[in-house]
Structure 1
Amino acid sequence: MTMLDDAKQKLRGSIAPIVTPFHHDYTIDFSSFENLIDWHIDSGTHAISVTGTTGEPSSLTIEERVRVMETAKKKINGRVPFAPGTGSTNHQETLYLTKTAQEMGADAALVIVPYYNKPSQHALYKHFKAVADSVDIPIIVYNIPGRTATNLHVDTLARLSEDCPNIIGVKESNKDFEHVNRVLLKCGRDFLLYSGIELLCYPMLAIGGAGHISATANVVPKKIADLYNTWKAGEIDKALDLHFDLMELNDVLFKDTNPAPLKAALGMMGKIEPVLRMPMDLPTQELQNEIRDILKQHVALSDEITTN
């Protein structure tokens, strides 16, 4: 079995995109970060990603991103696969971070469509091909048009998957379900398709998806892992029940820009100090109250929940 075949087998299920905790002075809280990693692994999370959208990478310096990646890799210590986010709006930064991920032994790199620049499809092809050609590790493309203002077309992705053997999958934070169906049609059904839209995690499994990279895993990692586990085990009714059980929580966690509601929720659970770096900030008190009410329905021990 080749390295890429092995990765295609291992990188399935719930890949949790973990937040980057900060102290109140805005320095990175590495102690809480490491505790989150242990909690995720103990909860059954199948793989871990850091410095993706949920990890506030645009609020981190390049040096901080590398340190977060290194800390995660060391703490995970091979217990689950590790796929850090290495993309940037800057091509050279993306190359540097992706090469750094390979050097530290990451199992794959999650590379976002460059944001703000709005490159053409031809330019996106050149960007991702250059990144893939620069490393040997698997690449998971990250398409999130709501954040990047650019949608990676299915034909472009199919061309990349054909020309770059180490581009093995895509995280589609794309509400266009016709688009994600065509990804597997054009790229092949062994191409790894992950949902980045919480309400599409179950539907994507139903069409042959490899799993999900769901922000909601930050607060209920076991339930998000079990959504995949029950589906994989053929327990369709249980998977469907989980899908609907999670819907209200998924909705409230995206009533403000991710990861602001997540960090508020994790603060209520005593997992982190609920701090974001500006220009991001916590949700309004009204929304925090709503998050608290819904969170109580999902967190087993209600006394874990604290006020902010």
Structure 2
Amino acid sequence: MTGYEDVKKRLRGSIAPIITPFHEDGSIDFQTLEKLIHWHIESGSHGISVTGTTGEPSSLTVEERVQVMGIAAKAVNKQVPFVPGTGSANYEETLYLTKKAQELGADAAMVIVPYYNKPSQHALYKYFKAVAESVEIPVIIYNIPGRTAVNLEVKTMARLAKEVPNIIGAKESNKDFEHVNRVLLECGRDFLLYSGIELLCYPMLAIGGAGYISATANVEPKKVADVYNAWNEGDITRAINLHYELMPLNDVLFKDTNPAPLKAALGMMHKIKPVLRMPMDLPTKQLQDEIRQVLKMYVELPEEAGTL
């Protein structure tokens, strides 16, 4: 396997995890998905991801996930790195989706720690090793213990990073920042570490992280990307200012389970039809009102942006 160094140089910054837009009847709105991806690229997002947590993958069939990845790959068209989420709680599905990502020309596949099953650390090692060795593209491990009920421990991550050449990084949606620091220490400073926690996006850069995969980019792609741009250009003051400027938006978008507040916000912005598949649903009217007030600090809302 070769070519990972070039990929690792490109997989930096704000990799935007795009929502999956639906029509009113719950079917996937592929046309809007394409428009969202074009908007993100024009706004400066450094990469595109689909079918991660923000994309409601567990509410999609396997066939729908392949369709979303295919449409996204065409829309991205190699303009920026493309990193679809390909993991599930089912091993065979994960293998199938990860191989499909490779066929579609993805730059890397993001594979979540299997949820619900609560595997041991030894089992997680075997799982990620097998998935990564089934493809030639790089694999980014997605560790989100708040959703999966199991944490991929630092020693396990380090073993995978050292023994499996195409495991090149991890998205850490882990509020334990000591854990995150130790991942870089044990996996090596060239390991690509991304924050999946909005308030840790800037701090992740400060300790040597590669960037972040932040749901907030769906609403403010330019500002979220500019945190990395400012840091990369050495304008630390601007990066810190943007970090704090985004904080009210980050806070309100996570007052209900992601992506419910996010889809409400995008509905208010007339970017999508604010539809989620059950068991998810839109936030309460009270939270919608709060989202609307916070949104006005960042974007100009249409006058008719009322209760959804």
For the superposition of Structure 1 and Structure 2, which TM-score range results when normalised by the shorter chain? over 0.9
Q: Which residue number in structure 1 is paired with residue 293 of structure 2?
A: 293
2:246 counterpart SS class: helix
Tell me the C-alpha RMSD between the 2 structures: 1.1
Q: Which residue number in structure 2 is paired with residue 145 of structure 1?
A: 145
Structure 1 counterpart of 2:302, one-letter code:
D
Q: Contact (CA 8 Å) 1:296, 1:305: kept in 2 or not?
A: no
Q: Which residue number in structure 2 is paired with residue 75 of structure 1?
A: 75
Q: Which residue number in structure 1 is paired with residue 53 of structure 2?
A: 53
Structure 1, unaligned runs of 5 or more? none
Q: Which residue number in structure 1 is paired with residue 301 of structure 2?
A: 302
1:90, 1:180 → 2: CA distance? 27
1:14 counterpart SS class: strand
Q: 1:84-163, aligned counterparts within 5 Å? A: 84-163=84-163
Q: Contact (CA 8 Å) 2:275, 2:282: kept in 1 or not?
A: yes
Structure 2 counterpart of 1:188, one-letter code:
G
Tell me by how many angstroms 1:3 deviates: 1.4
Judging changes above 3 Å, is the alpha-carbon distance between structure 1 residues 3 and 283 closer, same or farther for their aligned structure 2 residues?
same
Tell me by how many angstroms 1:304 deviates: 7.3
1:270, 1:54 → 2: CA distance? 18
State the Cα deviation string for residues 57-84 of structure 1 (Å, max 9, x = none): 0000000000000000011111111000
State the Cα deviation string for residues 92-144 of structure 1 (Å, max 9, x = none): 10000001100111000000000000000000000000001100100000000
1:303 counterpart SS class: coil
1:302 counterpart SS class: coil
Structure 2 counterpart of 1:141, one-letter code:
I
Judging changes above 3 Å, is the alpha-carbon distance between structure 1 residues 235 and 263 closer, same or farther for their aligned structure 2 residues?
same
Q: Contact (CA 8 Å) 1:269, 1:305: kept in 2 or not?
A: no
TM-score (norm. length: structure 2): 0.98
Q: Which residue number in structure 1 is paired with residue 248 of structure 2?
A: 248
Tell me by how many angstroms 1:302 deviates: 3.5
Q: Contact (CA 8 Å) 2:268, 2:302: kept in 1 or not?
A: no
2:53, 2:281 → 1: CA distance? 15
Equivalences, count: 307
Q: Contact (CA 8 Å) 2:268, 2:301: kept in 1 or not?
A: no
1:81, 1:118 → 2: CA distance? 31
Structure 2 counterpart of 1:145, one-letter code:
P
TM-score (norm. length: structure 1): 0.98
Q: Which residue number in structure 2 is paired with residue 282 of structure 1?
A: 282
Off by >3 Å, runs of 4+ in structure 1: 302-305
1:48 counterpart SS class: strand
Q: Which residue number in structure 2 is paired with residue 264 of structure 1?
A: 264
Q: Contact (CA 8 Å) 1:18, 1:48: kept in 2 or not?
A: yes
1:75, 1:249 → 2: CA distance? 27
Structure 1 counterpart of 2:68, one-letter code:
V
Percent of aligned positions that are identical: 74
Q: Which residue number in structure 2 is paired with residue 187 of structure 1?
A: 187
1:82, 1:302 → 2: CA distance? 30
Q: Contact (CA 8 Å) 2:116, 2:148: kept in 1 or not?
A: yes
